[in-house]
Amino acid sequence: MESKTNRLTVFLIISLLWSLLWFTNKESFFQYIDEIPSLPFYLLGIIPVIGILIASLILRQKQQNNQMSLTGKHSRWSWIIASIPIILLTMFGVPNSINIQPNFFGFIIGVFTMAYAIFEEFGWRGYLQEELIGEYNKWITYILTGLIWYLWHWYFLREGNNPNLIMIPILIAASFGIGEVARSTKSIIICGALHGLVNILMIYGVIAQNITIQQKVIILLTALIIWIPIIKKIEKSNTANIDV
């Protein structure tokens, strides 16, 4: 118990402090490069997940019963699931203000968004959920994960000190949904794909504000139509292996 508590404490300190430094200082940082719009400018958003990625990669090594891995036991299917949003963004293209051909920009920003989400999922499902689930039932685990996820964004210390409280139930609900997929597939990449799809459709402004509602609907429906049978197949395979 003591080692678990120590790991959780280290995880919270590293991940929350790193994101605090970023989210409360990014405007000051951006003012120095705002006049030089470029592709690297858009990709700087990867910075806040570095802390959570490093902390989770280190602490996962100390866990004895962590069942999550990058691809689970179905590497090919995991990569196929993660590739669908990237393929769709490449096909549709994403308009941008830096004069990059939209289809090529769609590919680049799609890869970035998936990478960001996968890195973040190393923390939430790859480490934190597995740590908490050994101590609490899954429902309490999902609630705690969602609350820590909310704290990690530091809404109440940024953007006019707007606490954005609506994000608390949203992130708890996301923790329930992605958490169940994590438990059934054991794949961090699949969790990242679900997370990344939400970022594409609703959150990540570079994409969400520059593709049409019709394109968003097509991306969502196409992803779900392809993903659901694959995830069910993985769940069935994992259940069969456990029974054996």
Cβ-proximal residues to 158 (8 Å cutoff; 6+ apart), any chain = 23, 24
Beta strands in 71-191 (DSSP E): none
pLDDT in tens, 8-49: 999 999 999 999 988 887 766 666 655 555 677 667 778 889
Q: 202-220, pLDDT tens digit by residue?
A: 888 889 889 999 999 999 9
Q: What are phi and psi of 69, to 5 degrees?
A: -145, 175
Q: What are 116-136's pLDDT values in tens digits? A: 999 999 999 999 999 999 788
Does the predicted TM-score (pTM) go above 0.85?
yes
Q: How much is the pLDDT for 244?
A: 42
145 in helix, strand or coil? Answer: helix
Q: Which residue has the tokens 């899954």?
A: 138
Average pLDDT, the chain: 89
Higher pLDDT, 24 or 167: 167
pLDDT of 98 reads: 83
Helix, strand or coil for residue 85? Answer: helix
pLDDT of residue 243: 47
Give the model confidence (pLDDT) of 133-159 as tens digits: 978 899 999 999 999 999 999 888 876
**pLDDT recorded at residue 32:** 61
For a pLDDT cut of 70, what percent of the chain falls above it?
90
The torsion angle over the Cα atoms of residues 203, 163, 192 and 95, rounded to 10 degrees, is 20
Tokens describing residue 97: 């203000």
